[in-house]
A and B are shown apart, each in its own frame.
Chain A
Amino acid sequence: MGLTIKNVNKSYGDKKVVDNISLEINKPGVYGLLGTNGAGKTTTIRMLLGILKKDSGQINWNGKEVKRKHVNFGYLPEERGVYPKVNVYTQLMYFAKLKGMKEEKADEAIKYWLKRLEVEEYMNMTPEKLSKGNGQKIQFITAVVHDPELIVLDEPFSGLDPVNTEIIRNVILELIKKGKYIIMSAHQMSVVEEFCTDILILNKGKTVLQGNLKQIKDSYKANKLYISTKQDIKKYVEEENLNIYLEKDNEYEIDIKEEEQGYKLFNELAKNNVQVEKFEIKKPSLHDIFIEKVGE
């Protein structure tokens, strides 16, 4: 059970947009597909959904090759869109039926999701009268209404306010609990760190980093020291030949090359009776790793 992408390539003319990508998702959870704009994420997603043919390689779901007519995945595209002049219930029923649902089951599912995403009052309204966030939630329903095993979420939180973000966040956590396979593309690294167990970072169509997120982070040495004090500690930092990366109201983020440098500074502060409120040796965040891998 699971998704396997093996040595997949895709070119447009002379331009190679996906270069020999491979990945495997063999247990439920969220897999992060990351990359800058134009890195090849959407092309990869379209190939795995069967709407774009690959030039070479294999994409299998549960051991069978993915073909458009067999695919029944859920998909929330990055490009947001609903029928502006067709009422919400009618268009959700249309998509549910296209996904193979019977009318009665579809009706039940649509009503559940409208309630779950707190948009049931808009059921008989046209999306042109809805806010952007509510329109996005309607589109989210089209991706999950047929209860797919694999769901592709391309930037699911983009453009949502904190309240709606929380609603979608809880829904994704529920989907994970239900054992769904989710592929998520997002630019906010905090979102990826919260949900994803595994990641793949693309740069110009090529895989630059891939694997278990925790293992990736563990493989990196600590590179930042965070200290919060009640007084100025600049002179102690300078004495240790360290560089202050960020300073704000006696809160310091200091570059370090190894953890020992941090402990040494801490001892120095203690010796001089500097009151330290918070001390943390930090490993690179996903954001730092991403920047390092794909450059600014």
Chain B
Amino acid sequence: MKDLFLVASFTFKDLVKRKSFIISNIIILLIIVLGFNVPNIIKNISSGDENFGKDKIKIVDNENIYEGTLDLLASQDLGYQIEVLKQQMSIEELKEKIKNGDIEEALYIEIKEGIINVQYVIESESLGTYVPQELIMILQSTYQNLQISKLGVNEEQLAVINMPFNTELVQVEESKTGNSILPMMLLSIVLFYAIYFFAYQVSSSITTEKTSKIIETLVTSTSPKTIVIGKTIGIGLAGVLQTIVTVIVALISAKLFLDSELIDMILSSINLTGTVALVTIVYYILGYSLFALLYALTGSTVAKPEDVQSANGPVAILAVIGFYLSYFTMMNPASSLNKIAALVPISSPFCMPFRVMMGLANTSEILISLAILVITILVIARISIKIYSSAILNYGSKINLKDMFRMYKNKND
């Protein structure tokens, strides 16, 4: 037990003192602070400029089809900075002005063969260029209103004609309507990266010890079981420290930089209860343990630094399959595939917290999922420690599955 604490504490200190760890965390924290400041930054840049961020579109109506009604559009907030050009301008002259940069984009309206023809003129098409359909629909509706009013229809009648529809989403099962999926999917992504990144560190730490040959001294000082579990705990604690620091910085940033209304909106959308927080923490720890032990196994089989990627590849694939199985089934949380994803050990750490937040998982489902995950971790721990004991002293050729099987069957503890 004393050795376990020593290994965990040494591994923890070694990781958190590394420059790469400190720098990457500073970057993450800066991004968080900056992220929470985005609304303020936009507000500051756009202060005093109500048209900030809006496309500047000129409208050319040489034939006065709209009979002056377009000026009313220009004064409304339609998401565009609209200016109706007063002077007559041919399409060629307009193109020339756009080419020279005098005008950014324009709508050229004319009647051609009895039909209203609208040309959207821009310098050149690029990624993200699209015809402003919303604006064209507004133009169409304005034209219709102009023509209807000419038929003697008054404003009240016109309002009845243009009455907007009210749409509502009604779900049969009320419990599934409470929460927005998006924040929870984001949380799953964060959970995946936190688990994956720190689990990978276990492999990295073991490989470093093996390739730097320090392992020979270490295994004569304590048991392989203590080394594997101690490392897993030490790196896990570094992960917990990073998570705590990140959450604290995020909370302080939110409090300092976000409107309280926005915070309430976000919190109400993710339904963060004590149970949800507990389930998330438990699955985070178990998910990390599972992948850390798998990485301990592959890390111990590496004899040369250049073999690290190929040795760890299978675990990375398992983790990615687990994550995507969880992620894609979140689109339809009621599906049986999502239920299965919450039970399969490689995907349950990313999926079950989401189902609990959504109110989709009952207690028995959670308990079964936890039992499967814990049993899997115990089995993987046993296999990893046994193979680690033999593999770490092997500096020869790359260890394949057959070798691993032989090592597992060996009595060497």
Taking Cβ atoms with an 8 Å cutoff, the residues of A that contact B are: 13, 46, 49-53, 68-69, 71, 73, 75, 77, 79-86, 90, 94-95, 97-99, 139, 142-143
Contacts and interface: CB of A to CB of B under 8 A. Distances in A.
A272 B156 CA distance: 147
A53 B10 CA distance: 28
What are the 8 tightest A-B residue pairs by CB atom distance, in nearest-first order?
A81-B213, A77-B216, A79-B213, A98-B221, A81-B214, A53-B412, A75-B220, A81-B212
B6 A98 contact: yes
Given A81-B213, A81-B214, A84-B212, A71 B6 contact: no
Contacts of B18: 85
Contacts of A73: 220
Given A53-B411, A86-B14, A98-B6, A71 B217 contact: no
A139 B412 CA distance: 26
Nearest to B410: A53
Interface string B54-92: 000000000000000000000000000000000000000
Contacts of B410: 53
Nearest to A53: B412
Nearest to B222: A98
* Chain A binding surface, main DSSP class: loop
B393 A142 contact: no
Contacts of A49: 220
Given A52-B393, A98-B7, 20 more contacts: A50-B220, A51-B219, A51-B220, A53-B412, A69-B223, A71-B220, A73-B220, A75-B216, A75-B217, A79-B395, A82-B214, A83-B212, A85-B14, A90-B13, A94-B10, A95-B218, A95-B221, A98-B218, A98-B222, A139-B217
Contact of A79 (B6, B216, B412, B413): B216
A86 B10 CA distance: 10
B218 to A, nearest CB: 8
Contacts of B222: 98
Nearest to A86: B14
B3 interface: yes
Contacts of A68: 223, 413
B406 interface: yes
30 contacts: A51-B219, A53-B410, A53-B413, A68-B223, A68-B413, A73-B220, A75-B220, A77-B213, A79-B395, A81-B212, A81-B214, A81-B215, A81-B216, A81-B217, A82-B212, A83-B214, A84-B212, A85-B18, A86-B14, A90-B13, A94-B6, A94-B10, A95-B218, A97-B6, A98-B3, A98-B6, A98-B221, A99-B221, A139-B217, A143-B217
